[in-house]
Amino acid sequence: MTDLITEDRRVLVFSAHAADFCSRAGGTIARLVDAGGSVHIHDMSFGEKCESPALWAQQPPPAIEQIKEIRGREMSAAAATLGATIDCLDWGDSPLIVDADRQQQLLELFRAFQPDLVLTHWKDDILHPDHMECTRAVIWASRYCFRPGLDIESPPCPSPQLVLYETTLGTAPVARFLPNLFVDISQVQQRKAEALGHLAAQPGLAERYETLAAYRAFEAQSTAWMQGCQYAEAFVRLGTEAAGFDGPAGFGP
Ligand SMILES: [Zn+2]
């Protein structure tokens, strides 16, 4: 397997909603950027309906277009804190539907950017259908981006490494998310917390995901020989999980 964090990685990150990239993979994104990689994030929606609770709690709640505008500013500030670029495809949430036209758009995004690493949701994040729809579409694009003869403007590009991040918080046992890759984010944990702080429509993300990162660090210490790791993000490398669990790998500081 290619080392996850090397200096010249071209990385695309796909999230169903505004904050998913940051809460699950913000530390790893910061490390990839610090190593000299180029990281671009595509949020498929603003999470305007299902993941903007603080705005819906207002009386009266803002109009949907206003919510999108606020979330757009939040996600841009979070991505900038990590050193990545971001855009929102604005495909709507609850439900997020990636139809045939949008699949073609995704394929074009892959071929235009030519990523060698793609991060997205766990493929069986069954308790949030939007997350599963995002990953289904991303895996689809990753399996057609290298094929010739398709009706796409850009030429084929190699299929990237696919690495899948955490499920909706607290649902990992139900969704059978069993990490086989840990990244030590101790050095960038503060930056991740600052980025999450920008996503104010979802209060408490920084605190809750710090707790998760501290727990994943115990697993990294115990199973991936990452002694001294205080905070970790956990992933599944697609492919290896299907072939059998051969012990987790880790990327230290
Ligand atoms: Zn989400």
List domains and CATH numbers for the chain: 10-251 (3.40.50.10320)
Model confidence at 244: pLDDT above 50? no
Q: How far is the CA of 134 from the centre of ligand 1 (A)?
A: 10
Angstrom distance (rounded) from CA 69 to CA 74: 9
Angstrom distance (rounded) from CA 183 to CA 253: 8
Q: How far is the CA of 18 from the centre of ligand 1 (A)?
A: 7
Select from 7, 5, 89, 86 the least CA-distant residue to 47.
Answer: 89
Q: How far is the CA of 50 from the centre of ligand 1 (A)?
A: 8
The two three-digit tokens of residue 208, written as one number? 């809750």
Model confidence at 110: pLDDT above 60? yes
- 152 — pLDDT class (breaks 50, 70, 90): confident
pLDDT at 251: 79
Q: How far is the CA of 178 from the centre of ligand 1 (A)?
A: 19
Q: How far is the CA of 241 from the centre of ligand 1 (A)?
A: 23
Q: How far is the CA of 167 from the centre of ligand 1 (A)?
A: 9
Q: Residues of the chain with pLDDT > 90: what percent?
A: 89
Task: Render pLDDT for 154-169 as a digit per residue (tens, 0 to 9).
Answer: 999 999 999 999 999 9
Q: How far is the CA of 115 from the centre of ligand 1 (A)?
A: 22
Q: How far is the CA of 181 from the centre of ligand 1 (A)?
A: 21
- 240 — pLDDT class (breaks 50, 70, 90): low
Q: How far is the CA of 105 from the centre of ligand 1 (A)?
A: 21
pLDDT at 247: 61
* Strands 181-184 and 232-237, bridge-based pairing: antiparallel
Q: How far is the CA of 19 from the centre of ligand 1 (A)?
A: 7
Task: Render pLDDT for 190-206 as a digit per residue (tens, 0 to 9).
Answer: 999 999 999 999 999 99
Task: Render pLDDT for 13-22 as a digit per residue (tens, 0 to 9).
Answer: 999 999 999 9
| pTM of the predicted model as reported, rounded to 2 decimal places | 0.95
Average pLDDT of the segment spanning 244-249: 60
Model confidence at 242: pLDDT above 50? no
Q: How far is the CA of 228 from the centre of ligand 1 (A)?
A: 31
